[in-house]
Amino acid sequence: MSDKKIFLMKDKNIFLIKDKKYIIAGLVFFIALFTFPFWYNSGKAAPGPELKLTDKAKEAKECVMPTAYMRAEHMQLLDIWRQSVVRNSDNIYVNPSGKAFTMSLSNTCLDCHSNKAEFCDKCHDYASVRPYCFDCHIDKPKEIK
């Protein structure tokens, strides 16, 4: 009787070799897929990019709004600017401190930040963002009168 018990206990733990192969292969595949970011970067830390400000931007000290606001909301601001210029033909922006700016990506933003590759692109590339602004507004803005 005890023999029979041992036999059953032991045997329940075996599984068909043929299935075991598939199950372990599937498990290994899943874990490899799940840990993709761990082996893709192969242990190299990639700190965020260092931005370069142009002399003109440094001189101005502050953008149209405070830096923290600009960092978070610049895309929103540009969208509102576009809406304002294109729909309402209002192209003067007055910030809370009373300073007026022409609402223009090419002529206002990129005038100070003329180093798109070392300013805009740095963070956009890092975060894999591809703003469609630059489909039309090219790197070095040419004055269009």
Beta-bridge partner residues of 102:
92
Q: Of 109, 53, 49, 50, which Cα lies nearest the Cα of 77?
A: 109
Is 20 a binding residue for other proteins by CB under 8 A? The answer is yes
Asked if 136 touches other proteins (CB under 8 A), the answer is: no
56, 126, 138, 139: residue in contact with other proteins (rule CB under 8 A): 126
Tokens standing for 57?
A: 């931007």
Closest CA to 95 of 85, 87, 103, 83: 103
Whether the CB-CB separation of 71 and 63 falls below 8 Å is answered with no
Question: Which one, 33 or 144, has the nearer CB to other proteins?
Answer: 33
Nearer to other proteins, 40 or 143 (CB): 40
> Which residues of the shown chain bind other proteins in the complex (CB under 8 A)?
4, 7-8, 11-16, 19-20, 23-24, 26-27, 30-31, 34-38, 40-49, 71-73, 75-76, 78-80, 83, 123, 126-131
